[in-house]
A = this chain, B = another copy of it.
Amino acid sequence: MSNRLPPLTALRAFDAAARHMSFAQAAAELNVTPAALSFQIKSLEEHLGAPLFRRLNRAVELTEAGTALSRGAAEGFQTLATAWRAAQRTQDTQTLTVTAGPAFTAKWLAPRLYEFAQSHPEIELRFAASLQRMDLMRDNVDVAIRFSSSVTPELYVLPLAEEWVMPVMTPALAAQYPTIESLTHAPIIFDDSVRFLKAPIAWSDWFAALGVSYNPTSGPRFSQADHALDAALAGVGIVMGRRALVVKDLAEGRLVAPFPTALATGARFSFLCLKGMENRPQIATFRDWILTEIEKTAHITDNLTILDLAAS
């Protein structure tokens, strides 16, 4: 019983047969005749020294050995196919597939997409639905923007700007509540997405930092940061806005932050890609573009006091 792999073509034939549970269909998939497939399976069974299929009247079924083999065979070939596609993808300098959370996609990427398309018409950006579990490898995604910093040896990780939070509102609302004391009567929008931070930041923390003892508890709650911001943009109330998600609205005057005190979160968005891929043209271009875009709104910080509660 050798420890080496059996002939791979035979294994692939078996995989197809096991997936279809039919030699004829498997033969069709592999573009060979049923006869060829029959031989492949037979040769594999000889290698193993035991049958893999039980031949029935008009069907086949897996033996125990076949069952055991089929699981890993399917997975193995799947992995190989994905890897091959990943290699092909490196040859394609035109498309770039990016994944990000819904909030970052809606409030950072989407508003800047037009700018990117203008400056880099040669690159076709694609978005992959945001997955909690990010599979840069498995899902053929080139770049992920993630709000966490899990470090793995497989990944190239570039931390983007530090994330802080600060109350933001429409200019109209700001006019209604000009002082910090009056703000305690303003309608509050709760963004529950900050709960994922290691040290969640509460409204009372911010008021306390400005010397006001106030702990608001009632008001609309949103589990997604972008929904909370949309509500704030509609003038519903004031919201604790995360830097990355509000800078553009602040820069363009749709939102204002009349009290220029922000709280550091200790967290940041990071740019992730597989190690060794960070210098592929599209990826490097996209990374540089992100950094430039962040730089464009860096002046927001100029008049800002950023307090780090954890440090003090």
Contact = CB atoms under 8 A, between A and B. Distances in A.
A11 interface: yes
Within the oligomer, what is the number of copies of this chain?
2
B8 A8 contact: yes
Contacts of A87: 48, 52, 65-66, 68-69
A3 interface: yes
Contacts of A62: 276
A288 B52 CA distance: 26
A64 B90 contact: yes
A223 interface: no
A79 B81 contact: no
Most interface-central of A1, A11, A88, A277 (chain B CB within 10 A): A88
A107 interface: no
Contacts of A91: 1, 48-50, 65
Interface stretch (A70-78, A125-133, A188-196, A239-247): A70-78
A76 B77 contact: yes
Interface residues of A, number: 48
Given A9-B8, A77-B76, A84 B69 contact: yes
B279 A64 contact: yes
A143 to B, nearest CB: 14
A3 B85 contact: yes
**Overall SS of chain A's interface:** helix
Contacts of A50: 90-91
A277 B66 CA distance: 11
A103 to B, nearest CB: 30
A137 B279 CA distance: 37
A280 interface: yes
Contact of A72 (B6, B49, B83, B90): B83
Given A76-B76, A90-B65, A280-B64, A71 B83 contact: yes
B277 A88 contact: no
Q: What are the 8 tightest A-B residue pairs by CB atom distance, in nearest-first order? A: A72-B83, A76-B79, A76-B80, A8-B8, A69-B87, A67-B276, A68-B86, A65-B90
Interface of A: 1, 3, 5-6, 8-9, 11-12, 48-50, 52, 62, 64-73, 75-91, 137, 154, 274-277, 279-280
